[in-house]
């Protein structure tokens, strides 16, 4: 019997490549499994779904909150920019107003919601002015919780939770006011707070450094833990990066949506008699550090802490409250319930 001869051109092209023989293709690594491909899969999925970011701005009127938000996202995203109706009157009570935008950059889509708090700190008596803001933040947690515990819940729950609160400190150059301390002390327990010194170009560099140092001392003295919180650093690398940020807080910022030509360069800035204050120049102000923190380096971490820490604390408390109410309705003594929870 004669053996069947298989022509060379009928051999599988993969055979030569698999064993590193000359088959015209690259040498395949036998040890490669392909686990790293999950990153590309996650990227594609995230690109399809898009992202959500909800930022709250808090501070008395005239501190440049709207301008700073427009500067951060290089577009008219603030409530005043979109809904401006002439001279806005200061409301008699704190109002919570939000506006959403769909932003796209290099194929990445993001739904940005800017939450404004007109009326905060503008009254003669500002006692308990933090309460409507606290209620709004908790209301968003409650709405998310109710969606989450539905039997037929949505595949993707709309996220209206406040991911970050930028708190604007007036550039007094002295120390935090009692209002600032009280607000941040209470709100830092339920939301990520990033304090900024507004309109920092009104301070000299020496005044700015002194004011920043004094604010950090006030924060420590009052046990106020602003973002990035030390207790949530995940590893040594995180700790080193976040420690540098903590040393810079509060960020001394200047906002401007006006473009100027300086030495042949187009830039965002504020023009004065003495020259142009460049918003993105770190020698002039710390806007670039704030932008990097909120958007380029820590955006996902801010959202993760909102979800896994602040929202989780709210969820546990609410579910415990519900269990207690049900137990009382069924006549179960409170000490039995406590023993069961332990």
pLDDT of residue 342: 40
Domain presence at residue 190: yes
103 membership: H or E segment, kind and range = strand 97-105
Q: What is the mean pLDDT of residues 299-321?
A: 96
When divided into structural domains, the chain yields a total of 1
Domain presence at residue 151: yes
Distances (CA, A) of 198 to 60, 114, 192: 10, 18, 18
Domain presence at residue 31: no
Residues across the chain: 342
Q: Is the pLDDT of residue 19 over 70?
A: no
Distances (CA, A) of 334 to 108, 306, 317, 342: 51, 31, 16, 13
pLDDT of residue 257: 85
Question: Domain of 245: which CATH number?
Answer: 3.40.50.300
What's this model's pTM, rounded to 2 decimal places?
Answer: 0.84
Domain presence at residue 22: no
Q: Which domain holds residue 122?
A: 42-79+89-327
The C-alpha atoms of residue 134 and residue 190 are separated, in whole angstroms, by 8
Least confident span in 5-9, 59-63, 82-86, 90-94: 5-9
Least confident span in 37-51, 167-181, 283-297: 37-51
pLDDT of residue 275: 87
pLDDT of residue 22: 53
Per 3-state DSSP, the chain is made up of helix, strand and coil in percentages (nearest 5) of 45, 15, 40
Domain presence at residue 290: yes
Which residue reads 């042949």 in tokens?
264
Domain presence at residue 18: no
pLDDT of residue 61: 92
Between 13 and 266, name the one with better pLDDT.
Answer: 266
Domain presence at residue 56: yes
């Amino acid at each position: 019997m004669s053996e069947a001869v298989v022509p060379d051109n009928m051999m599988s092209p993969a055979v030569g490549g698999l064993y590193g023989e000359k088959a015209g293709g690259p040498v395949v690594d036998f040890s490669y499994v392909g686990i790293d491909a999950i990153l590309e899969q996650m990227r594609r999925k995230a690109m399809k779904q898009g992202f959500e970011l909800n930022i709250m701005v808090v501070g008395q009127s005239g501190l440049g909150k709207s301008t700073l938000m427009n500067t951060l996202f290089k577009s008219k995203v603030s409530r005043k920019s979109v809904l401006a109706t002439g001279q806005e009157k200061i409301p008699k009570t704190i109002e919570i107003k939000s506006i959403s935008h769909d932003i796209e950059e290099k194929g990445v889509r993001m739904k940005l919601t800017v939450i404004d708090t007109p009326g905060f700190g503008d009254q003669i008596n500002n006692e308990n002015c933090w309460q409507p803001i606290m209620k709004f933040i908790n209301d968003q947690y409650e709405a998310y919780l109710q969606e989450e515990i539905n039997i037929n819940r949505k595949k993707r729950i709309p996220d209206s939770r406040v991911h970050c609160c930028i708190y604007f400190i007036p550039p007094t150059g002295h120390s935090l006011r009692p209002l600032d301390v009280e607000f941040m002390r209470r709100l830092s327990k339920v939301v990520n707070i990033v304090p900024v010194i507004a309109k920092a170009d009104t301070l000299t560099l020496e005044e700015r450094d002194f004011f920043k140092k004094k604010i950090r001392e006030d924060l420590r003295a009052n046990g106020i833990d602003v973002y990035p919180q030390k207790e949530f650093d995940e590893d040594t690398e995180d700790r080193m990066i976040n420690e540098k940020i903590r040393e810079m807080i509060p960020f001394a910022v200047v906002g401007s949506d006006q473009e100027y030509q300086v030495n042949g360069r187009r830039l965002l800035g504020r023009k004065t008699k003495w020259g142009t204050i460049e918003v993105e120049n770190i020698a002039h102000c710390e806007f670039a550090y704030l932008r990097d923190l909120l958007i380029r380096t820590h955006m996902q971490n801010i959202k993760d802490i909102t979800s896994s820490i602040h929202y989780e604390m709210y969820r546990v408390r609410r579910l415990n409250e519900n269990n207690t109410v049900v137990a009382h309705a069924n006549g179960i003594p409170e000490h039995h319930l406590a023993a069961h929870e332990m």
